[in-house]
Amino acid sequence: MMHRVLITGAGGGIGRSLRETLRGVYPILRVSDRVPLAPAGPEDQGREEVDQTDIADMAAVEKMVAGVDGIIHLGGISGENSWEKILEGNIIGLYNVFEAARRAGTKRIVMATSNHAVGFYPRAQTIDHRVVPRPDSRYGVSKAFSEALASLYADKHGIGFLCTRIGNFGTKPIDSRRLSIWISPRDYTQLVRIGLEHSEIHFEIVYGVSGNKRSWYDNSNAHRLGYKPQDDSEPYAAEILAREAGQKKDPIAERYQGGTFCAEEFTAEAPPP
Active site residue ranges: 139
CA atoms 18, 21, 26, 31: torsion sign? positive
Contact of 17 with 190, CB cutoff 8 Å: no
Closest C-alpha among 72, 30, 105, 75 to residue 194: 72
- Contact residues for 178 (Cβ-Cβ < 8 A; gap 6+): 167, 168, 170, 233
Pairing type for strands 70-73 and 160-166 reads unpaired
Cα separation, 233 vs 217, in Å, equals 14
- Contact residues for 105 (Cβ-Cβ < 8 A; gap 6+): none
Cα separation, 87 vs 195, in Å, equals 26
> Cα dist. 160→110, 111, 156, 201, 223 in Å?
8, 11, 11, 6, 18
